[in-house]
Structure 1
Amino acid sequence: MAEDLPARRLLLVHAHPDDETIATGAIMAKYAAEGARVTLVTCTLGEEGEVLVPELEHLASDRDDQLGPHRITERDAAMKALGITDARWLGGAGTYRDSGMVWSETGAATVAPDVPANAFWLADLREAADHLVAVIREVRPQVLVTYDDFGNYGHPDHVQAHRVATYAVALAAVPSYREDLGEPWDVAKVYWTAQSESWLREGLRRLREAGDHTTFEGMDPDGDLSFMAVPDDKIAAVIKADEYAEAKLEAMRAYPTQIKVDSPFFALSNNLGAYVWGTEFFRIAKGTAVPTDDGFEHDLFAGTR
């Protein structure tokens, strides 16, 4: 029943396990700790991911093909670290498979030539959106967070997650659409995850000064970062959640097959602490931003009821 729902409700739509922690782990922990209902929908199990742990390499898709089930356990551990109790799989676990990707000549990710038959990239858009419509109408979030139309860096599953989320938000608000999926609900605000250009440049400088010259090799703190970053004047919300940086780091450690926690970057970024992991940035795609004196929102729920 709607009257039984918490006052603030946040829904996040991500492509693979670990995406949610890297991009939005701090806000997830922050809002959950503050009493909001935080719901995560992950679209695939991440079956095509690279396995960074040698003793688990047999799980890879070109060997035992058991990485997906393993990443379920990793996500469970990450959600525990973030304090999230409502984490779901779009359509149920394994409904859509990780599409994989390749790097294009432009440096962006793109669709691989051998996409699996049940890949999320090939999913029927309305079918996939309907799964999310049901969640939207159940959870009734004021705020939904997902990727931009480029999937932030071109990964086909990120792009598809953007498309599914965008379509589902529109359909969920239509009173006459699929009444069997619940009462209509209009999401007040939709945000796209982003990487601040000024923040990325400063982060790169700090890494270089700390002695790491190999992570993000070729990325010049003073050069062209348009592929990875968003100009600050395009960013609507800056959420500082420094007190939840350690929870985010703990959640990242829950993904050893995907995140090399003993790498120079992880060690150095861990030492940089809240600067690297405690602040997250967003573009607004639906609704009206409510900026403060510095020109940015500092609460995704600002202006909602």
Structure 2
Amino acid sequence: MTADQRALFVHAHPDDETINNGATMAKYAAEGRGVTVVTCTAGEMGEVLVPDLSHLAYEEEGGLGDRRRQEIAAAMARLGVTDQRWLGGFGRFHDSGMAWHPDGHAVAAEEIPDSAFWHADLVEAADALVTEIRELRPQVLVTYNEFGGYGHPDHIQAHRVAMYAAVLAAAPTYKLGLGEPHDIDKIYWCAMSEARMRESIRQMREAGDTETFEGMDPDGEMGPFVTPDELISARIDGRDYVETKMEALKLHRTQVDPDGPFFSGAESGHAFWGEEFYVLAKGTRGPVGEDGFETDLFAGL
């Protein structure tokens, strides 16, 4: 990685990176900045949304992980990202699966594979990421918040591993065999703007769309899935790259319904997929734009 500015994105499964950060990554790649994605599991237990590929599901014939490995490679190529890695190597940590809580957020399933990422030793998993951090020496790290965005156990574990690895990678006496210590300047957590979500749902309902984000009231309680805008630090304007992002997302074919909200939203005037929001978890906030948000994750560096 020879770019002067380098960002590391840590995600739980293939497709998470494109949904959360696809526009940001495409923008930075086009600008010649270093972009690396570390994927913690192959998503072997994900829900297959395409009927003709349902046989790949974990509870059927299996093989979804290998398929999703191909999908993320294609998606990264479309975004212009040339460096995607697997935490500890492909297959080292298994998808943990999930269940839905009555309140609408994800929770750990009752039965979890022994090799599941959720059961991984935190030091062991963090050490695998320490090696990557010390090699890449990024100034910026991006991952989930402590809730993993929506409660998925692998997202929560990815948050824990990323945050712990960042601390360990910087420690001047920690396992020097893993590389020369490196302190990451800024750490961000992915966020969904509460104001943007309310505005989008309101426009959907006014247009007669009652199915997308079903049950969510634009004027009611939004739950833990969104972040109050006063807590958001950065807004990346990737609208010039939203088409690229949506094309990359379509390449995660087992995971995304082409007729679902991702694509119907992208084709309408109320789409927000080209603007991506972040909460600063470590580091000094840089200069902000007129809206009060940083416009670049490297701002101030």
- Alignment TM-score, normalising by the size of structure 2: 0.97
Amino acid across the alignment from 1:277: W
- Alpha-carbon distance, 1:7 to partner: 0.9
Asked if 1:216 is matched to 2:217, the reply is no
Distance 1:24 1:273, change over 3 A: farther
- What do you get for the CA RMSD once the two structures are aligned? 1.3
Following superposition, which runs of at least 4 residues in structure 1 exceed 3 angstroms of deviation?
none
Task: Select the residue among 254, 257, 260 that pairs with 1:257.
Answer: 254
Matched-pair contact (CA < 8 Å) for 1:245–1:274? no
Kept in 2: contact 1:52–1:257 (CA 8 A): yes
Aligned with residue 40 of structure 1, among 37, 45, 49:
37
Q: Which residue of 2 aligns with 1:127?
A: 124
Q: Distance in 2 between matches of 1:75 and 1:128?
A: 21
The answer on 1:168 being equivalent to 2:165 is yes
CA contact (8 A) 1:242 1:274 kept: no
SS at match of 1:238: strand
Q: Give the 5 Å matches for 1:75-114.
A: 75-114=72-111
- How far the C-alpha of 1:273 sits from its partner, in A, is 6.3
- Which secondary structure does the structure 2 equivalent of 1:277 belong to? coil
Residue 228 (structure 1) shift: 1.7
Quote the Cα distance in structure 2 between the aligned partners of 1:252 and 1:24.
Answer: 11
1:10 and 1:137 map into 2 onto residues whose CA distance is: 13
1:31 and 2:51 are equivalent in the alignment: no
Instruction: Tell me which amino acid in the other structure corresponds to 1:104.
Output: H
Aligned counterparts of 2:174 and 2:5: Cα–Cα separation in 1: 25
Displacement of 1:275 in angstroms is 4.1
Q: What one-letter code is carried by the residue in structure 2 that aligns with 1:132?
A: L
Is residue 80 of structure 2 the alignment partner of residue 54 of structure 1? no
**Whole-angstrom CA distance in 2 between matches of 1:149 and 1:291:** 26
Paired with 1:267 and 1:187, the residues of 2 have a C-alpha distance of: 35
Q: Using the alignment, how far apart are the partners of 2:17 and 2:196 within structure 1?
A: 19
CA shift for structure 1 position 255: 1.1
> What is the Cα deviation at residue 296 of structure 1?
1.1
Identity %: 57
| Equivalent-residue separation in structure 2 for 1:200 and 1:122 (angstroms) | 33
Rounded to whole Å, the distance in 1 between the matches of 2:244 and 2:95 is: 26
- Tell me the equivalent position of 1:156: 153
Find the aligned partners of 1:273 and 1:284 in 2 and give their Cα distance: 29
> Does 2:278 correspond to 1:282?
yes
1:246 aligns with 2:243: yes
Aligned to 2:175: 178
Say whether residues 1:15 and 2:9 are aligned partners. no
- Once the two structures are TM-superposed, the CA of residue 278 in structure 1 deviates from its matched residue by 0.7
Matched, 1:204 2:201: yes
For residues 263 and 291 of structure 2, the distance between their equivalents in structure 1, rounded to whole angstroms, comes to: 32
Q: Distance in 2 between matches of 1:210 and 1:266?
A: 16
CA distance in 1, matches of 2:26, 2:59: 35
Q: Which stretch shifts more, 284-293 or 165-174?
A: 284-293
2:63 paired residue among 58, 62, 66: 66
Aligned to 1:268: 264
Structure 1 residues 266 and 175: alpha-carbon distance in aligned structure 2, compared to 1, 3 A threshold? closer
List alignment gaps of at least 5 residues for structure 1: none
Name the CA distance, whole Å, in 2 between partners of 1:283 and 1:186: 19
Shift of 1:108: 1.6
SS of aligned partner of 1:257: coil
Which has the larger displacement, 247-256 or 199-208?
199-208
Deviation for aligned residue 1:253: 0.5
Give 1:88's aligned amino acid: R
The offset of 1:208, in angstroms, is: 2.1
Would the alpha carbon gap of residues 267 and 124 (structure 1) be closer, same or farther in structure 2, given more than 3 Å must change? Answer: closer
Work out the number of aligned pairs and report it: 300
- Contact persistence 1:243–1:274 (CA under 8 A): no
C-alpha distance in structure 1 between counterparts of 2:280 and 2:54, whole Å: 39
| 8 A Cα contact 1:239 1:298, kept in partner | yes
CA offset digits 1:134-163 (Å, max 9, x no partner): 000011000000000110111000000000
TM-score between both structures, scaled by the size of structure 1: 0.96
